Amino acid sequence: MWRGNKMSQTMGINWIGLYTMVRREASRMARIPIQAFIAPWISALLFIFIFGSVVGGRISQIGGHRYLEFVLPGVLMLNIVNAAFIQASTAIYFSRFIKFVEEMLVAPLSYVEMIIGSLSVVVLRATVTGIGILLMGIGFGATHIESWPMFLFWIVSVSTVFGLLGLIVGLWSKSFEQLNMPVVFLLTPLSMVGGVFNTIEMLPAKLQWLAYANPFFYFINGIRGAMIGFDEAPQGLGIGLTLGLLAVLGVTAWRLYAIGYGLRE
C-alpha cells in the first residue's frame, strides 16, 4: 500500500520546502566562507584604514562628520549590493549549469516559493556581511547607528532588490562571462559614482543631476541617514524608489519563473 509522504503545508505554503532551500544555500555558503564573508570584511577593514588613517586626516569634515564616518555607510552598501547580486546570480546560474535546478522543478514548489527561498539566503548573506562591517566600524570608533529600524530596512530592501536582479541575470546568462557583465558595466560604475566618496555638492553643478538620476545615490543616502544621520535627499524618495524597484523586479522574476525562462526546456 502507498503510504504517501505527508507534505506539510500551512496557508498553502510548502514551509519545509522553503526552509530546505535556505538550508541548502546556507550549506553552499559555508563551503565558501572566504568568498562570502571574509573578502568583504577585509575590504571594509582596508577602507577603514585608508580613509581613517591615511586619507581621512587630510580631508575636512563633511556635515560635521569625519570623512571615514561619511564613507563607511557607502562602503557597507557597496558590499551589501555585491553580496546580494553575487549570491543570487551565481546560485541560480550554477544550478542551471550543473542542472540540479531540476530538483526544484520536479518538486511541489511554487514559483513564488522558489523566488522567496532564493531571496531569503540573499538577505541572510547580505545582513551578515553588513552587520560584520558595522561591528568593525563601531569597534574602530568609525560609525554608529542613528536608527536601527531604518538600517535594517535598507539592508533588507536593497539586498532584495539586487537579489531579484541577480536572479534575473542568472536566468538570462548563458556563460560566466555574461554573468559578470552587469557587475562590470552597471553595478560597479553606478555604485562608485553614487555618492560613496563624495557629497553631491562636491560635483560640478552641471553633473549633479547625474547623481540624482542614479538609484545607488538613494540607497547610499538612505543607509547613511540611518547610520550617521546625514542625508542629502529626502528619505521618502529613496524608500519609494526602492519599493518601486522591488515591485518591478519582483513581478519580472515571477513572470520569468512562471514561463520557465532559462529554467525549463
Partner 1 sequence: MTPALSISHLRKVYRSGTVAVEDLSLTIPEGEFFGFLGPNGAGKSTTIHCITGVAEPSSGKIEIFGIDAVKNYREARRLVGLCPQEFNVDPFANARQIVDWMGGYFGMGARERKERIDYLIERFDLIPHQKKQFRELSGGLKRRVVLARALINDPKLIILDEPTAGVDVELRRVLWRYLTEINKDGRTILLTSHYLEEVERLCRHVAIVSKGRVVREGTKDEIAGSPGGLENAYLIATGAEPDHVAGQ
Interface contacts to partner 1, rule CB under 8 A: 1-9, 14-17, 19-21, 23-24, 27-28, 31, 95, 98-110, 259-260, 264-265
> In the block, which residue shows the cell 549570491?
87
Distances (CA, A) of 19 to 111, 121, 176, 261: 15, 10, 28, 24
> Using DSSP, how many helices (H) and how many strands (E) does the chain show?
12, 0
Q: How far is the CB of 55 from partner 1 (least distance, A)?
A: 41
92 backbone φψ class: left, alpha, beta (φ>0; ψ -120 to 50) = alpha
Q: How far is the CB of 2 from partner 1 (least distance, A)?
A: 5
66 or 125: whose CB is closer to partner 1?
A: 125
What whole-number distance in Å separates Cα of residue 249 and Cα of residue 257? 12
Distance of CA 261 to the CA centre of its chain: 23
5 or 60: whose CB is closer to partner 1?
A: 5
Q: How far is the CB of 15 from partner 1 (least distance, A)?
A: 8
The angle subtended at Cα 31 by Cα 25 and Cα 32, nearest 5°, is 95
On the CB side of 44, CA atoms within 13 Å amount to 30
Q: How far is the CB of 34 from partner 1 (least distance, A)?
A: 15
255 or 264: whose CB is closer to partner 1?
A: 264
Q: How far is the CB of 174 from partner 1 (least distance, A)?
A: 13
103 or 201: whose CB is closer to partner 1?
A: 103
* Encoded amino acid at 32, one letter: I
Q: How far is the CB of 170 from partner 1 (least distance, A)?
A: 16
88 or 196: whose CB is closer to partner 1?
A: 88
Q: How far is the CB of 263 from partner 1 (least distance, A)?
A: 9
1 or 54: whose CB is closer to partner 1?
A: 1
What whole-number distance in Å separates Cα of residue 68 and Cα of residue 55? 9
84 or 263: whose CB is closer to partner 1?
A: 263
What whole-number distance in Å separates Cα of residue 140 and Cα of residue 150? 22
* Cell numbers given for 89: 546570480
2 backbone φψ class: left, alpha, beta (φ>0; ψ -120 to 50) = beta
CB 15 within 8 A of CB 22: no
Distance of CA 103 to the CA centre of its chain: 26
